[in-house]
Amino acid sequence: MQVLSELVATGREREGVLFTSPHRSAPYSYRDFCTNVWKGGNLMRHYGVREGMAVAVVVGPKNPTAGDEPGYLRDCPDGLLAILAATLDGAVADLAPGPEVDATALVAPAAWLDRYELAPGTKAIAYGGPSDDPTVAGFERELWSENPLQPPGERAPDDPALRDADGSYTHGEVLAASERVVEEYDVDAETTLAFRASVTSAGAVVAGLLAPLRAGATVRFGDSAASDVAVAGQGDDVPEKRVVRPDAISV
């Protein structure tokens, strides 16, 4: 496995649950999520996303409250889906965009779009909401009707895939790091993993999304109950004994 499109294609063939949340009545299966990643890639291509471009992604809940912060998951994996969808098109997913966004697209909760100033040509794609701005694309609505096939194009292991405040990381680098997390923390298909860290770094994506996808594990977010493994920030007090700290991951 050398590129992220292979990880998504493999995940689509898995049985079982990828995500659960106490805020969602039904779990999110591997097949549904990975098929929607394909759809997301095709949707982004419709808005001009291609190889070598950037897609800024703000992870958050569908309908943020005053206590929510960008990067933290509570009720939906839409931001994670957008990250992988961008990489399937050959774009770089920017995990920590600043207030001024110069990218081909910005994907974010509708309620947070007014926090960002978009460069001319940057397309706003919102989940949750809906947005009152007719120029903003509705992520869930448009995703529903997209082609459920893998986006076209060949990727290479040394193509850039993720970017955070510390730098850029290739498909090969993030996949190799995910394999190390699986081996070091004994993650397998029976593992439940609590995603408690902020999704603003490559290490968080590697530990909380790519490693579980590789192993067939189930990711839980927005849940205070203990899981087998936690992905949590330095200094965060969590109930799990096995804890992956994203900033300690070498990508």
* pLDDT at residue 242, rounded to an integer: 96
Which overall architecture, per CATH, does domain 27-144 show?
3-Layer(aba) Sandwich (3.40)
Q: Where in the chain is the domain with CATH 3.40.50.980?
A: 27-144
Whole-angstrom distance, CA of residue 52 vs CA of residue 70: 25
Closest CA to 28 of 213, 243, 234: 213
* Residues in a beta bridge with 213: none
* pLDDT at residue 173, rounded to an integer: 98
Whole-angstrom distance, CA of residue 151 vs CA of residue 28: 22
* Residue-by-residue pLDDT tens, the chain, 251 positions: 899 999 999 999 999 999 998 877 788 999 999 999 999 999 999 999 999 999 999 999 999 998 899 999 988 899 999 999 999 999 999 999 999 999 999 999 999 999 999 999 999 999 998 888 999 999 999 999 999 999 999 999 999 999 999 999 999 999 999 999 999 999 999 999 999 999 999 999 999 999 999 999 999 998 888 999 999 999 899 999 999 999 999 99
Report the mean per-residue pLDDT for the chain.
Answer: 95
Whole-angstrom distance, CA of residue 233 vs CA of residue 19: 20
pTM confidence score: 0.97
3-state secondary structure of 56: strand
What lies within 8 Å, CB to CB, of 197 at 6+ separation is 204, 207, 208, 231, 232, 233, 236, 245, 246
Whole-angstrom distance, CA of residue 128 vs CA of residue 109: 6
Chain segment 55-85, per-residue pLDDT in tens:
999 999 999 998 899 999 988 899 999 999 9
Whole-angstrom distance, CA of residue 60 vs CA of residue 128: 10
